[in-house]
Amino acid sequence: MKNIIEVRNLKKTYKTHERKSGILNAIKSVFARKHRYDAALKGINFSIEPGEIVGFIGPNGAGKSTTIKILAGLLYPSDGEVQVLDFIPWKERVKYVQNIGVVFGQKIQLWWDLPPLDTFELHRDLYKIPKEKFEKRLKFMIKIMGVSKIINKPVRDLSLGERMKCQTIAALLHKPKLVFLDEPTIGLDAVAKERYREFILSTNTRFGTTFLITTHDMQDIEKLCKRIIIINDGRIVYDGPLKEIKEKYMTTKILDIKFDGRPVGFKHKGCEILKRGKYGLKVVVDLSKSKINEVIDYLIKEYEVVDINIQDTPIEEIIQRIYKEKK
């Protein structure tokens, strides 16, 4: 099948000004400023097939957002070739964006003083969505996202999570073939996140929509993506099935446990205590030796547990281990 996204040797360099704090430095900078060149992308290659949901992950400043912005036609690359849906994104912007949907979790894409419904209607007319289709899709999306109560409130009065849901609706109303989601689950609570993921999955299966998602939430990745691309310091470190990474590197989980009382004599197969507090423990669980629910069963049986927090291996650690392996 023909690829929906094709990226070859993509590079992006930013020119920035150095700015030091303090009045004296500020006055100095009025007369002479130093430039610095930061390479955000150092030549990346990948391609995505129609219908895929690809997770795009990496630490802060790795180049995720830059890549998404270039793919969405917002930025000019410094070098390299990009072809998305037979378009070169940064050329013919108006025509191109008609075919894609983009959600930036950190930005506001709705009219600030107006209810989300007004932005939806603006999109209806700008993307030329027929009225009946618009009503039908909107009804469906509102239901599945659970936002029927807020679409008539001004956006400025909405919470971050509510804004995100509406923003996603706005970006998907015109049924784009390709959707970029940049940190879409920021500000959502656990239930809402679950709903959001279901929404993405059902859109993907029903319409064959292709998704490229960046996120810090490993749960998002696990639930949504079969394939991930890991980027670090402007280079792609890994591109392949999530399963492989999971089996190879996500072999541990971290448990943060709070007890009602002092935990004495905690001991379980494959567990190692990282930190011991007065009423709490931080434990690394080696998943090859012990399943996570076994550990939790053990804890609940033996102790008065107040709270358990399960964390995945941080992405930074996975990257470090991938590097180590390469050497």
CA 161 vs. chain centroid, Å, equals 14
**Maximal CA-CA distance, the chain:** 69
Strands (E), the chain: 5-17, 35-48, 53-57, 79-84, 100-104, 178-182, 210-214, 227-232, 235-241, 252-259, 271-276, 280-286, 305-312
Asked if 304 touches another protein (CB under 8 A), the answer is no
DSSP string over 275-299: EE-SSEEEEEEETTTS-HHHHHHHH
The stretch near another protein (CB under 8 A) out of 22-30, 52-60, 136-144, 275-283 is 22-30
What are the φ/ψ torsions at residue 269 (nearest 5 degrees)? Answer: -60, 130
Q: Which of 1, 2, 23, 35 binds another protein (CB under 8 A)?
A: 23
CB of 268 to another protein, least distance (A): 45
The stretch near another protein (CB under 8 A) out of 14-22, 138-146, 203-211, 281-289 is 14-22
The stretch near another protein (CB under 8 A) out of 24-32, 186-194, 259-267, 284-292 is 24-32
Asked if 75 touches another protein (CB under 8 A), the answer is yes
CB of 256 to another protein, least distance (A): 32
Q: Which of 34, 95, 143, 248 binds another protein (CB under 8 A)?
A: 95
Coil, helix or strand for 147? coil
Asked if 39 touches another protein (CB under 8 A), the answer is no
Question: From edge to edge, which strands make up the β-sheet containing 5-17?
Answer: 35-48, 5-17, 79-84
Please list every residue from 149 through 188 that binds another protein, using CB under 8 A: 154, 171
Q: Which of 3, 47, 109, 252 binds another protein (CB under 8 A)?
A: 109
Asked if 300 touches another protein (CB under 8 A), the answer is no
CB of 40 to another protein, least distance (A): 9
Angle of helix 160-172 relative to helix 131-145, nearest 10 degrees, comes to 150
Identify the DSSP state of 31: H
Q: Which of 18, 81, 88, 107 binds another protein (CB under 8 A)?
A: 107
Asked if 91 touches another protein (CB under 8 A), the answer is no
Asked if 288 touches another protein (CB under 8 A), the answer is no
Distance CA 297, CA 292 (A): 9
Angle of helix 131-145 relative to helix 190-207, nearest 10 degrees, comes to 140
Asked if 72 touches another protein (CB under 8 A), the answer is yes
Cα distances (angstroms) measured from residue 159 to each of 5, 151, 217: 33, 12, 19
CB of 300 to another protein, least distance (A): 41
Which of 66, 313 has the CB closer to another protein?
66
Distance CA 53, CA 273 (A): 36
The stretch near another protein (CB under 8 A) out of 3-11, 122-130, 140-148, 310-318 is 122-130
Cα distances (angstroms) measured from residue 211 to each of 136, 197, 290: 22, 12, 34
Contacts of 27 (CB under 8 A, 6+ apart): none
CB of 320 to another protein, least distance (A): 27
CB of 230 to another protein, least distance (A): 22
Q: For binding to another protein (CB under 8 A), which residues are involved? A: 14, 19, 21-23, 26-27, 29-30, 65, 69, 72-76, 93-95, 97-98, 102, 104, 106-111, 113-114, 118, 121-128, 154, 171
